[in-house]
Amino acid sequence: MAGEGDLKLLGLLVSPFVVRVRMALQMKGLSYDYIEQDVFDKSELLLASNPVHKKVPVLLHNGVPLCESQIIVQYIDEVWAAAEEGSPTILPAEPHDRAVARFWAAYVDDKLFPAWIGIIKAATEEARAEKTSETLAVLAQLEVALAECSKGKAFFAGDAIGYLDLAVGCNMFWLEALRRLFGVELLDTGKTPLLAAWAERFAETETATKVVPDADSAVEFARKLAARFGSASPAPVAN
């Protein structure tokens, strides 16, 4: 695999933000050392590498830390722009398209993640229903974004996956985990047919199959989170 310098990634297997960075590294064909972190008992390395937020992911490039997944992905795309002939780009080349992709990626982090994590944290079924509706509304907006950004092609970025595909795609295994935990169908082929079809295509790409964890891992972690937050216990749901 192509590589330049020493790369280490501090992460959590089921973190969508860590998965986003791992997919970017996979796209670029970069080798790196992955160091799993316990986010409930944070290591000295993590605290020293990200003293502001104390969160994963952290990419260490030649010992220098970079934090926040969107920033890390953009860094990877810029530093290894010519890692090898034909190396894929992550961000769009055209400035307007690049700005639009960044806008929607920020929307995903600001709206989608807080909505679906709220389903897990909800203390009552009423609160969970509210967060489920909020998640569905965000996905409906992403359905519109997909139609506009893809221009009728397979992915947000066109014929191949790109920056916005990674931003949205890193959340998809969690939506399946929530279906298994709570029986909520968040990707509805009737309400968001384009997004549902895109999610299937995205899951089949090599970038996703080599990096994205199984939803069962997210289910297990979600149960730990629910216990920690004192959330309403999920009823058993068949897979």
184: left (phi over 0), alpha (psi -120 to 50) or beta: beta
pLDDT, residue 97, reads: 97
Dist. CA 6–CA 4, nearest whole Å: 7
Other C-beta atoms closer than 10 Å to the C-beta of 179 total 17
pLDDT, residue 221, reads: 97
Mean pLDDT of successive 10-residue stretches along the chain, which has 239 residues: 76 98 96 96 98 98 97 96 72 97 98 98 95 98 98 98 98 98 95 98 98 97 90 54
pLDDT, residue 232, reads: 72
Which positions ≥6 away from 95 have C-beta within 8 Å? none
Sign of CA dihedral 155, 20, 24, 211: negative
125-133's contacts with Cβ under 8 Å and 24+ in sequence apart are: 125/232, 127/232, 128/182, 128/232, 132/182, 132/184, 132/186
Dist. CA 67–CA 131, nearest whole Å: 28
pLDDT, residue 230, reads: 83
Domains and CATH numbers, the chain: 7-79 (3.40.30.10), 95-229 (1.20.1050.10)
What six digits make up the tokens of 120?
Answer: 């897990």
Dist. CA 44–CA 3, nearest whole Å: 27
pTM of the model: 0.94
Dist. CA 27–CA 170, nearest whole Å: 14
pLDDT, residue 17, reads: 98
What six digits make up the tokens of 194?
Answer: 């384009």
pLDDT, residue 87, reads: 72
